[in-house]
Amino acid sequence: MQITVNGEKKEFTALSTITELLLTLSLKPETVVVELNTKIIQPNAYDKSQLAEADSVEIIRFVGGG
């Protein structure tokens, strides 16, 4: 399946949810905000949010600092 992640087209196999995408990218779900096809997805819905061919996902990571 081809999905655009942060503006870059990527090919994935066996992905079905946002949680699976984040784990494949080695990202912790609790440290990011995800937008799926221009809609912000609530963290408690990552497991239920299904991905499909040609979806567009934007992932914003929280970074600490001072």
- CA–CA gap between residue 33 and residue 17 (Å, rounded): 14
The CA radius of gyration of the chain, in Å to the nearest whole number, is: 11
- CA–CA gap between residue 1 and residue 54 (Å, rounded): 8
pLDDT band at 65 (very low <50, low <70, confident <90, very high): confident
Name residue 56's beta-bridge partners: 4
- CA–CA gap between residue 20 and residue 23 (Å, rounded): 5
Q: pLDDT tens digit string along 4-40?
A: 999 999 999 888 999 999 999 999 999 999 999 999 9
Whole-number pLDDT of residue 63: 78
Q: What is the pTM of this model?
A: 0.89
CATH assignment, 2-61: 3.10.20.30
Q: pLDDT tens digit string along 40-50?
A: 999 999 999 99
